[in-house]
Amino acid sequence: MKPMDVETFKEVYKKRFEDVYAIQYHMGSTLEQFQVLGQVLRGYYTDYWIENNQEKIDNQDKQVYYFSMEFLPGRQLKTYLLNLDVYDTVKTGLTDLGLDFDKIVEAEVDPALGNGGLGRLASCFMDSMASTHVYGNGCGIRYQYGLFKQKFIDGYQIELPENWLRNPNPWEVRKESKSVIVRFGGNVWLEEQKDGKLKPKYEHTFDVLAVPYDTPQIGYRNGVVNNLRLFSAEIPYDEESKYITSEQRQEVNSITEVLYPDDSNYEGRLLRLKQEYFLSSAGIQTIVRYFKNLKLPWTRFPEKVAIHINDTHPTLCIPELMRILLDEEDLTWEQAWNISKKTFSYTNHTILQEAMERWPVYMIESLIPRIAQIIYEINARHIRNKTELYGSELAYKTAPIQDDQVLMANLAIISSHSVNGVAKLHTEILERYTLSDFKTIYPFRFNNKTNGVTHRRWVQLANEPLSQLLDKTIGEEWRFQPKEMRLLRSYIDDESVLDQLQQVKLTNKKRFAKFVSEQMNIEIDPHAMFDVQIKRLHAYKRQLLQVMHIIDRYLQLRDNPEAKLAKRVFVFGAKAAPSYYYAKQIIKLINALADLVNNDPRINDMIKIVFVENYSVSLAELIIPAADLSEQISLAGKEASGTSNMKLMANGALTIATLDGANVEISNLVGPDDIFLFGMKADEVQVLRDSHAYNARDIYERDPQIQRILNSLIDGTIPGIKSEGIDIFNSLVTDNDEYFLLKDYHSFYQAQMKVDINYANKKSWTQKSLINIAQSGKFSADYTILRYASDIWNVAPETEVLQQF
Ligand SMILES: *Cc1c(COP(=O)(O)O)cnc(C)c1O
């Protein structure tokens, strides 16, 4: 990399500032300081970017295209500085100039172009692809408004628009000349050509321009710059005259206006389908244009291109590629299908029925008629071929069209060469139950790729004190090879290291406590246990189980302030989908409980509840390093993987968990003494559900501890709640507790008591924390990406790079 010394940086920065704002550099606002720093940095990395793009064309290396409707990158500045190896230079330079580095960092908006784990995974993968020499290209949508901003008013969630582009975004580059047209609606029919071939003819289509905005993805000190390409919908330049009414213009703009705020839930609205086709078509057209520049025969397409579909949302990529190969490139169906199948791979992210995409055929027909025809043909051929081999029952059960609906998962599975789950347990459940019919037909198509997280963002940047301690103790190799964090294990009995580890945690807790004091006006004791549950609010994630536990402790402490319980700060961060009424009621309950508990002098500050507003990547970076306990308490079998569990582990939090998602793998890595497991296992849940023997009211009536907790929801104990208390009570007692909270409660409570006892022994707690940190390197997304690269995309980087891993 080019050298950059502090003095040169300062000169360049000052000059640029004055050129741009025509005032002296120290007179600028923090936002202006950030903007100029962005420009300086851009001037620094752009050479690499251009070089990388040229190399890509010269070397014709295979390209991976990662399609995702969501990316949740968080702020980019520190990542660029770290990966370009100029972090210290820039920080020192700015400090020398009398500027506040941390303030400048915070001036960047945190782009919320995703809901939660799925989008965050896509962003961790972008960082890891660049850092492991995988030529990866992200394809997504440049939503004008990101995920809503959450505010609490009277304890209720209020959603405000998130206009994240109100300030110029210094990292993106508008690539107008690379725009493509995406065609919607109209009529389409097949017309015979002179040579006897059929060609589709279109009329009255609604054409939208897809304009790419590129953001560089810089590898960790390796000179690689990949690209994240987000498309924005605009009116085609030469058709301004066709789109004159404000409705027409609005129809175009609305396509990329907002991100759908639902997580783990299917949204069947037309605008969502438009977004999905818009992304699929724009992305595939771009790939085809790139490939045609290589001047190779079509049969070699899968050698040069791998296309990955992150969940089913971009599945229309498949018929879109078929359309182009058939209609524009004149390939036969068999040729196009073979190419397509070798090119596509698909990741399943959920087994929740309510999250499975299924589009009514009539919607696809009217919105994208040619694509509908191609899906019919895929369906017909599937049924024909598979009936011959496996009989009609299996053929129909796996067909993409059923009951006049297109089942997107079925379409993705039968059209891809690889289908993966995101944790061992999740993949097992897919193969054994959810997708077992497909497993029969395609026994070798399934594989597991357990999710990962990038330690660069989640440890190196978010937790500088821990990073420095690691450097000092085990050397710096872990920064390149997170697995090397395992070296920390040998310090398990080193009093000095344990002491320092405690100091690191305390430093991070004080930083979070300061934030809580300043932003929320709540005083929390950094010596209390910080017990953290941060994730989308969803019934299956069971925030309510933790609420029951808090109420239980609160009532015990009210009876007896001397009760032998650990002092805890319960931290929540969670957004609920705006239409998810039950989840919003739970938010209100947590806030009402916080009001009660935080201000009740009878309990001696033994409990504080901190529900941070507007949970985001940036807040996660603040909270996670401060966590002592990580709550991963979903109903077993429901959480596909989880990734906050990995981030928290890497920062030394101990996990209390059900054996769900990647918790299973965490448990295997640290061993039973260094994790707190509880609750039913996935197969036990299955058996209980199938038996129809579960009776929640019965538990409520017979169990005094649970009865007391639940009664507090309806007897005025929590003054802030109104009908929420009754509704939530009813969901558990009258509606038979769909997520088995009452069934798992005692086991959860026992585990929490064990946590209390363990926390009292500082040394052994810190030893457990050390083990968790040491084992977390295995969850680096770098390794996950290398497994995708070798097993799925067939792009294993040069052997020297691979050997590092
Ligand atoms: C990691 C992360 C998530 C995912 O959390 P889970 O607990 O795995 O669901 C969601 N949102 C943000 C902001 C994250 O950083």
3-class secondary-structure state, position 257: coil
> Any idea what the CATH number is for the domain that residue 468 is in?
3.40.50.2000
Residue 798: the pLDDT is 59
536 assigned to active site? yes
Q: Are residues 227 and 315 in the same domain?
A: yes
Counting DSSP H helices and E strands in the chain, the numbers are 33, 23
Residues 233-276 pLDDT 10s: 999 987 777 777 889 889 999 999 999 999 989 999 999 999 99
Q: Are residues 543 and 424 in the same domain?
A: no
- Where is 239: in which H helix or E strand? none
> What residue numbers bound the domain in which 162 lies?
60-75+110-451+787-803
Q: Are residues 482 and 385 in the same domain?
A: no
Residue 481 belongs to some domain of the structure: yes
User: Which one is catalytic: 75, 541, 542, 588?
Assistant: 541
Residue 532 belongs to some domain of the structure: yes
Question: How many domains are contained in the chain?
Answer: 3
Separation of alpha carbons 753 and 342, rounded Å: 53
Residues 738-794 pLDDT 10s: 999 999 999 999 999 999 999 999 999 999 999 999 999 999 999 999 999 999 999
Give buried/exposed letters for 325-337 (b at 16+ CB in 10 A, else e): bbbeeebeeeebb
Q: Are residues 414 and 469 in the same domain?
A: no
643 assigned to active site? yes
Residue 799: the pLDDT is 47
174 assigned to active site? no
How far is ligand 1, taken at its centre, from the CA of residue 521, in Å? 25
Cβ–Cβ < 8 Å for 118, 310: yes
535 assigned to active site? yes
Residue 420 belongs to some domain of the structure: yes
Which residue has tokens 């300086």? 40
User: Which one is catalytic: 536, 553, 575, 768?
Assistant: 536
Q: Are residues 414 and 508 in the same domain?
A: no
Using CA positions, which residue lies closest to atom 10 of ligand 1? 116
CB atoms within 10 A of CB 240: 10
Measured from the Cα of 617, ligand 1's closest atom is: 13
Q: Are residues 471 and 420 in the same domain?
A: no
| Sequence-distant (≥ 6) Cβ neighbours of residue 260 within 8 angstroms | 267, 272, 275
Q: Are residues 468 and 597 in the same domain?
A: yes
For 231, how many CA atoms within 13 A lie in the half-sphere containing its CB? 32
The residues lining ligand 1, judged by C-beta closer than 6 Å to any ligand atom, are: 116-117, 120, 535, 616-617, 620, 642-644, 647
Residue 544 belongs to some domain of the structure: yes
How far is ligand 1, taken at its centre, from the CA of residue 568, in Å? 22
* DSSP assignment string, 625-650: GG-SEEEE-PPTTS-S--SHHHHHHH
* DSSP assignment string, 447-494: EE----B-HIIIIIIT-HHHHHHHHHHH-SGGGT-GGGGGGGGGGTT-
Using CA positions, which residue lies closest to atom 2 of ligand 1? 117
Residue 583 belongs to some domain of the structure: yes
Q: Are residues 311 and 203 in the same domain?
A: yes
Q: Are residues 260 and 406 in the same domain?
A: yes
How far is ligand 1, taken at its centre, from the CA of residue 575, in Å? 11
Residue 422 belongs to some domain of the structure: yes
Residue 456 belongs to some domain of the structure: no
Q: For residue 805, how far is the Cα from the chain centroid?
A: 24
Q: What residue ranges of the chain have pLDDT lower than 50?
A: 799-800, 802-805
Separation of alpha carbons 153 and 164, rounded Å: 22
| Mutation probe of ligand 1 site: the residue of 459, 572, 615, 644 with most atoms within 8 A of C-beta | 644
Q: Would the pTM count as exceeding 0.85?
A: yes
Q: Are residues 445 and 470 in the same domain?
A: no
Measured from the Cα of 620, ligand 1's closest atom is: 15
Cα dist from 98 to 12, 35, 94, 95, 542, whole Å: 16, 17, 6, 5, 47
CA dihedral (14, 20, 25, 26) in degrees, to 10, reads -160
Which residue has tokens 């997280």? 453
Separation of alpha carbons 79 and 110, rounded Å: 13
Residue 457 belongs to some domain of the structure: no
Mean pLDDT (the chain, rounded): 96
Measured from the Cα of 616, ligand 1's closest atom is: 13
Q: Are residues 120 and 85 in the same domain?
A: no
Cα dist from 777 to 134, 780, 782, whole Å: 20, 5, 10
183 assigned to active site? no
Q: Are residues 430 and 538 in the same domain?
A: no
